[in-house]
């Protein structure tokens, strides 16, 4: 069974299939907007939907290493970079949708909103931290930086995840809706806790 799964993960079609799967949420939002199926506030549905898929992509990216080590499926590692880049892709669309649909691309209004509302500031900070990670996500960047410096830089993904979760919690706090953020928080705690446990065990 394990061999069959490894073979499937290593199949040439596996990455293109993951690429298409990662585009499905965007396709659904576009279709929903065209077909008028996003509810009474389509702009809010688009902004929040893109934000949700940013977090899901980040969580999936962080889950690759634990899954790889727990299952022994080393081939899972080949999908981590694509998931990380798609997380940044959805984060950028989330920011663009907020700036366009909520603020009308008025840079002064966007800057004022970032300064005024902490959850907007946290979201922008998370995106800004993701920017250098996405910019160095290719092989030449690894060679240029060196493996150790590249790895040190990409550990910022943990800060991105925590700040992104804070953004989500504060956004939902306005409506006293903490159920979904709690689920994301538990999953992130498990993913980060596993890493702490592994490091302590190695020491």
How much is the average pLDDT of 31-60?
A: 94
Alpha helices in 11-138 (DSSP H): 14-34, 42-71, 80-97, 107-116, 118-135
Measured CA distances, 145 to 85, 150, 156, 167 (Å): 18, 6, 15, 30
**Confidence class for position 139, pLDDT limits 50, 70, 90:** confident
Q: What is the pLDDT of residues 169-202, one digit of tens each?
A: 998 876 677 788 999 999 999 999 999 988 888 7
Query: How far out from the chain centre does Cα 125 lie?
Result: 14
The Cα 169–Cα 172 span in angstroms is: 5
Contacts 24+ apart (CB under 8 A), 29-38: none
pLDDT at 42: 93
Mean pLDDT value of segment 111-129: 93
- Segment 116-130 shows an average pLDDT of 94
Query: How crowded is the C-beta side of 123, counted as CA atoms within 13 Å?
Result: 33
**DSSP structure class, residue 104:** T
Position with higher pLDDT, 143 vs 47: 47
The pLDDT value given to residue 111 = 92
Residue 27: predicted pLDDT: 96
Asked which of 7-16, 119-128, 188-197 is least confident by mean pLDDT, the reply is: 7-16
Task: Report pLDDT for 174.
Answer: 67
| 51 three-class SS | helix
How sure is the predictor about 160, in pLDDT bands with cuts at 50, 70 and 90? Answer: very high
100 exposure class (CB count in 10 Å sphere: 0-12, 13-18, 19+):
middle
Written as six digits, the tokens of 24 are 């499905």
pLDDT digits (tens, 9 = 90+) for 61-84: 999 999 999 888 889 999 999 999
Residues 6-29 have a mean pLDDT of 92
Tokens of 17: 């299939």
How far lies 112's CA from each of 72, 116, 152, in Å? 49, 6, 33
What count of other Cβ atoms lies within 10 Å of the Cβ of residue 157? 17
């Amino acid at each position: 069974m394990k061999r069959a799964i490894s073979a499937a993960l290593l199949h040439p079609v596996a990455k293109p299939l993951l690429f298409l799967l990662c585009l499905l949420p965007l396709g659904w939002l576009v279709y929903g907007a065209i077909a008028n199926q996003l509810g009474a506030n389509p702009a809010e549905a688009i902004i929040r939907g893109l934000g949700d898929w940013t977090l899901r992509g980040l969580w999936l990216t962080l889950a690759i290493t634990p899954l790889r080590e727990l299952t022994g499926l080393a081939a899972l590692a080949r999908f981590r970079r694509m998931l990380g880049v798609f997380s940044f892709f959805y984060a950028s669309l989330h920011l663009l949708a907020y700036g366009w649909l909520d603020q009308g691309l008025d840079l002064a209004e966007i800057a004022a909103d970032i300064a005024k509302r902490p959850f907007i500031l946290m979201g922008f900070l998370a995106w800004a931290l993701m920017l250098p990670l996405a910019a160095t996500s290719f092989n030449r960047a690894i060679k240029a930086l060196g493996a150790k410096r590249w790895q040190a830089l990409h550990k910022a993904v943990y800060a991105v995840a925590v700040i992104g979760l804070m953004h989500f919690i504060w956004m939902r706090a306005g409506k006293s809706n903490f159920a979904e953020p709690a689920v994301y928080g538990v999953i992130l705690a498990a993913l980060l806790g596993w890493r702490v446990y592994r490091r302590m065990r190695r020491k």
